[in-house]
């Protein structure tokens, strides 16, 4: 220090700490001249002493004016050193950098000014301090004082110029510094960072693209900034990088894909659009690199397919198609399980379009990698079954296609039908609202006969008798009305002459026994009219309840539809179809006379002619009732079970043991009646304590109202005239 005091006059040092800027400026000029003389003389020891004096006595002083003077003095000394300044930078720069955090804004301002002047002199030599300078500038960019900000901006521009022309700048050392600050929310800092990213990316010798994954997330974060200018700058930088990616032969897609997937779920619309646009380009460009990330990418795409913004939806759909078109193999890292997991999760999406695309993916995987998908079947099967209750018909139809694809294997087919029946059992609304749609579609996809046989087998042993009855009634209605089951109906119509029809009739009969009306409908469809009549005759009082009458009403109305046109035409030949007439009159006798169904059926039966159009000799009975028509058949012909004429009565039933079938039906109905009694008793026990003695109970009301129903007289339950083969 003594050397410095001997070199610098006391008056200069005094003016250097003066409160007036002009005096400090003049003193700094004198310091510059002194250092210049020492540099010319090569006396670096005294130069070092001068710098130490300026640092210890001025920049580290508690007095603000001293600190200001020290900063301007250090800058002046650097100017005086000119080309020799580089060897003294280790002394000069640190005190200036420390002043950037000074409490006095004017000191911070002079620190910017000092470093600016130092940088102009040393240029690229001060790159060794770049990280510290960058850190200081980052903080100053958000300084509370506008003058300091302005000075920092000037310094920042100079530093950028120096860096772009320097060959000593290390991007590897700079990136960690940049990454640390990319998630800062301050708008000034964000502008500062985007500015540096843009500048460095413009330097040909600096490979910013290679380090893009380190700061990509930060740039995306800026897209949702409240400042339009920052959003615009970030978007501009991202657009430039995307263009570079398209033109680059080598890009690390994987790391960036992870970032894009996260940003595609951003609540900010612009961020989502940019992210999904990048993903779209990655899928087109990335190829095999993206195989391990397919599941994550799909997880980002599927929700965007239902985005409220149309632009996002369009890009997401295009990306989805691009991704699905790529044929990847599990051996190449394609994770079928992960894709299925994503698709399964998206089946719970609130958006229909997303659920539909998730199902398309499952279907696509089944077609391409069936064996692998089936190994994960337990993970997705329950979700697929739940999707059958989806409010969207389109979703339900797609789910059924997936189920049908899975059910190509016999064991999976059985599992599907068992689970389906289970779902119908636990969710009554599913059967009511979607039962017909589900069953009809499955019949198309998996063969109607196969589906109905399996359902019948399961329902035959169903322990929940109420559910079994409802399910059978639903299946029966679908069988009688659905266009998809026309071939099945045609097969059943020939049950008496076709072995396959007979086999199907017997198969369905076992479960159709749960519902008297279903059995009667099945017999009418199969043209086993005598058995239909016998079933009607076998009904007892408990069978004729409100539910039965409702089902009977439906059947009578169905008899008027085109499906039963063949039956109505058979009434033109009452001589050949006596048992059909008897069955229909039996149903008529069960209907209340004032009901619409009674009037419909009675009107139909009144149109039956009293003679046949087949040339047979007929004569009326004493009452003229077609029901009691007798026939004189030439050649000893007999009236077979269904009322048709057949010379070989032994083949008329095609092996159907109707007596055994009737026993099967009656046994099942006894179980239903016993079950109903148990339920009624349980209900009476639960309500007896709260039911006054003088109040008529519901079951008593039911019995009272049932007196209005016309029932036929008691009938023998023996199957009179049936043939067993």
- Residue 419: band (very low, low, confident or very high) from pLDDT cuts 50, 70, 90: confident
- Supply the DSSP string of 133-157, one letter for each residue: HHHHHHHHTT-SSHHHHHHHHHHHH
In-domain check, residue 87: yes
- Nearest partner of 423 among 162, 451, 432, judged by Cα: 432
The phi, psi pair for 532, rounded to 5°, reads -60, -45
Question: Tokens 């069936």 correspond to what residue?
Answer: 370
Is the pLDDT at 578 greater than 50? The verdict is yes
Q: Average pLDDT, stretch 97-118?
A: 94
Residue 132: its pLDDT value, please?
A: 92
The overall pTM is greater than 0.85: no
In-domain check, residue 477: no
The tokens describing 640, both together, are: 């077979």
> Cβ of 531: how many Cβ atoms within 10 Å?
30
The tokens describing 479, both together, are: 């069988």
CA distances to 371, 572, 610 from 615, in Å: 65, 12, 13
CB 412 within 8 A of CB 377: yes
Which range marks the domain in which residue 602 is found?
A: 515-609+657-678
Domain limit, last residue, from 150, 169, 188: 169
CA distances to 178, 203, 291, 369, 526 from 331, in Å: 39, 41, 11, 11, 54
- Nearest partner of 208 among 255, 232, 240, 246, judged by Cα: 240
In-domain check, residue 453: no
Residue 490: its pLDDT value, please?
A: 95
CA distances to 144, 318, 361, 405 from 321, in Å: 51, 5, 10, 21
In-domain check, residue 164: yes
Q: Average pLDDT, stretch 209-231?
A: 93
- Supply the DSSP string of 72-126, one letter for each residue: HHHHHHHHHHGGGGGGGHHHHHHHHHHHTT-SSHHHHHHHHHHHHHHHHHHGGGG
With 0-12 / 13-18 / 19 or more C-beta atoms within 10 angstroms meaning exposed / middle / buried, residue 332 is exposed
In-domain check, residue 48: yes
* CA–CA distance, 390 with 400 (Å, rounded to integer): 12
Burial call 334-366: b when 16+ CB within 10 Å, e when fewer: bbbebbbbbbbebbebeeebbbbbbbbbbbebb
> Could you tell me which residues come within 8 angstroms of residue 555 by beta carbon, excluding any fewer than 6 positions away?
517, 520, 521, 524, 587
- The secondary element (H helix, E strand) that includes residue 645 is strand 645-646
Beta bridge partners of 639: 645
Domain limit, last residue, from 169, 189, 211: 169
Please state at what angle helix 269-286 crosses helix 212-222, rounded to 10 degrees: 150
Question: Tokens 């109420």 correspond to what residue?
Answer: 466
In-domain check, residue 79: yes
Each residue of 639-670: pLDDT tens digit? Answer: 344 434 343 334 344 578 999 999 999 999 99
CA distances to 6, 50, 53, 148, 437 from 1, in Å: 9, 7, 6, 32, 98
CB 115 within 8 A of CB 155: yes
Domain limit, last residue, from 169, 194, 223: 169
The tokens describing 167, both together, are: 């060959």
CB 528 within 8 A of CB 495: yes
Q: Average pLDDT, stretch 18-41?
A: 89
Least confident range from 17-21, 602-606, 695-699: namely: 695-699
> Cβ of 646: how many Cβ atoms within 10 Å?
16
The tokens describing 318, both together, are: 């295009």
For the chain, count helices (H), then strands (E).
36, 4
Strand-pair category, 618-619 with 630-631: antiparallel
The tokens describing 535, both together, are: 């079933």
- The secondary element (H helix, E strand) that includes residue 631 is strand 630-631
In-domain check, residue 669: yes
CATH number of the domain residue 8 falls in: 1.25.10.10
Number of domains in the chain: 2
Residue 430: its pLDDT value, please?
A: 87
- Residue 228: band (very low, low, confident or very high) from pLDDT cuts 50, 70, 90: very high
Q: Average pLDDT, stretch 473-502?
A: 93
Is the pLDDT at 717 greater than 90? The verdict is no
- Nearest partner of 299 among 367, 334, 345, 350, judged by Cα: 345
Beta bridge partners of 5: none
Q: What percent of the chain has pLDDT over 90?
A: 61
The tokens describing 320, both together, are: 């989805």
> Cβ of 507: how many Cβ atoms within 10 Å?
17
Q: Average pLDDT, stretch 302-322?
A: 95
Residue 191: its pLDDT value, please?
A: 93
Q: Average pLDDT, stretch 233-262?
A: 91
Q: Average pLDDT, stretch 114-140?
A: 91
Each residue of 586-621: pLDDT tens digit? Answer: 999 999 999 999 999 999 999 998 876 654 444 443
Question: Which tops the pLDDT comparison, 1 or 552?
Answer: 552
In-domain check, residue 632: no
Q: Average pLDDT, stretch 688-716?
A: 41
With 0-12 / 13-18 / 19 or more C-beta atoms within 10 angstroms meaning exposed / middle / buried, residue 473 is buried
């Amino acid at each position: 220090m003594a050397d410095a005091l001997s070199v610098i006059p006391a008056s200069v040092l005094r003016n250097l700490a003066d409160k007036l800027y002009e005096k400090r400026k003049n003193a700094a000029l004198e310091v510059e001249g002194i250092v210049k003389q020492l540099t010319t003389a090569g006396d670096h020891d005294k130069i070092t002493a001068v710098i130490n004096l300026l640092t210890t006595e001025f920049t580290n002083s508690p007095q603000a004016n001293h600190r200001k003077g020290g900063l301007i003095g250090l800058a002046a000394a650097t100017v005086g050193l000119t080309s020799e300044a580089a060897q003294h930078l280790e002394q000069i720069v640190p005190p200036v950098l420390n002043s950037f955090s000074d409490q006095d804004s004017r000191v911070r301002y002079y620190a910017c000014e000092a470093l600016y002047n130092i940088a102009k002199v040393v240029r690229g030599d001060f790159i060794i301090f770049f990280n510290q300078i960058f850190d200081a500038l980052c903080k100053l960019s958000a300084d509370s004082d506008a003058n300091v900000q302005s000075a920092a901006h000037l310094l920042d521009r100079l530093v950028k110029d120096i860096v772009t022309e320097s060959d000593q700048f290390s991007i590897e050392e700079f990136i960690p510094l940049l990454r640390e600050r990319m998630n800062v929310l301050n708008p000034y800092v964000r502008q500062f960072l985007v500015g540096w990213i843009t500048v460095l990316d413009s330097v040909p010798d600096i490979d910013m693209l290679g380090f893009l994954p380190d700061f990509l997330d930060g740039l995306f974060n800026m897209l949702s900034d409240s400042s339009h200018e920052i959003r615009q700058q970030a978007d501009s930088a991202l657009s430039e990088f995307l263009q570079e990616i398209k033109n680059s032969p080598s890009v690390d897609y994987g790391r960036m894909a992870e970032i894009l997937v996260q940003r595609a779920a951003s609540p900010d619309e612009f961020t989502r659009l940019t992210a999904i646009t990048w993903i779209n380009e990655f899928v087109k460009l990335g190829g095999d690199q993206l195989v391990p990330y397919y599941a994550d990418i799909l997880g980002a795409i599927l929700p965007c397919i239902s985005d409220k913004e149309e632009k996002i939806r369009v890009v997401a759909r295009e990306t989805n198609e691009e991704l699905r078109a790529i044929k990847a193999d599990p051996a190449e890292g394609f994770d079928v399980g992960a894709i299925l997991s994503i698709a399964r999760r998206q089946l719970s999406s609130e958006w229909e379009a997303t659920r539909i695309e998730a199902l398309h993916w499952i279907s696509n995987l089944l077609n391409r990698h069936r064996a692998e998908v089936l190994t994960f079947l337990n993970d997705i099967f329950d979700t697929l079954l739940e999707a059958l209750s989806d409010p969207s018909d389109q979703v339900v139809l797609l789910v059924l296609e997936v189920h049908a694809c899975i059910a190509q294997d016999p064991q999976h087919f059985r599992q599907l039908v068992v689970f389906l029946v289970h779902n119908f059992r636990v969710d009554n609304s599913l059967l009511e609202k979607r039962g017909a749609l589900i069953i009809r579609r499955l019949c198309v996809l998996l063969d109607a006969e196969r589906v109905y046989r399996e359902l019948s087998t399961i329902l035959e042993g169903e322990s929940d008798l109420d559910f079994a009855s409802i399910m059978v009634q639903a299946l029966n209605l679908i069988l009688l009305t659905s266009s998809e089951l026309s071939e099945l109906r045609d097969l059943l119509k020939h049950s008496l002459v076709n072995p396959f029809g007979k086999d199907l009739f017997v198969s369905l009969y076992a479960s159709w026994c749960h519902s008297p009306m279903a059995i009667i409908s099945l017999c009418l469809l199969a043209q086993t009219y005598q058995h239909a009549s016998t079933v009607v005759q076998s009904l007892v009082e408990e069978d004729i309840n409100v539910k039965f009458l409702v089902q009977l009403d439906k059947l009578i109305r169905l008899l008027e539809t085109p499906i039963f046109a063949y039956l109505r035409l058979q009434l033109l030949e009452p001589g050949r179809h006596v048992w059909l007439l008897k069955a229909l009159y039996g149903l008529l006798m069960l209907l209340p006379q004032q009901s619409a169904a009674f009037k419909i059926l009675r009107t139909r039966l009144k149109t039956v002619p009293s003679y046949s159009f087949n040339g047979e000799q007929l004569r009326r009975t004493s009452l003229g009732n077609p029901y009691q028509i007798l026939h004189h058949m030439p050649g000893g012909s007999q009236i077979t079970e269904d009322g048709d004429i057949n010379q070989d009565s032994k083949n008329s039933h095609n092996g159907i043991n109707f007596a055994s079938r009737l026993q099967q039906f009656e046994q099942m109905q006894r179980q239903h009646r016993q079950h109903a009694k148990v339920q009624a008793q349980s209900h009476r026990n639960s309500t007896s304590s709260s039911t006054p003695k003088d109040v008529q109970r519901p079951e008593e009301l039911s019995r009272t109202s049932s007196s209005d129903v016309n029932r036929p007289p008691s009938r023998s339950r023996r199957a009179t005239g049936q043939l067993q083969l």
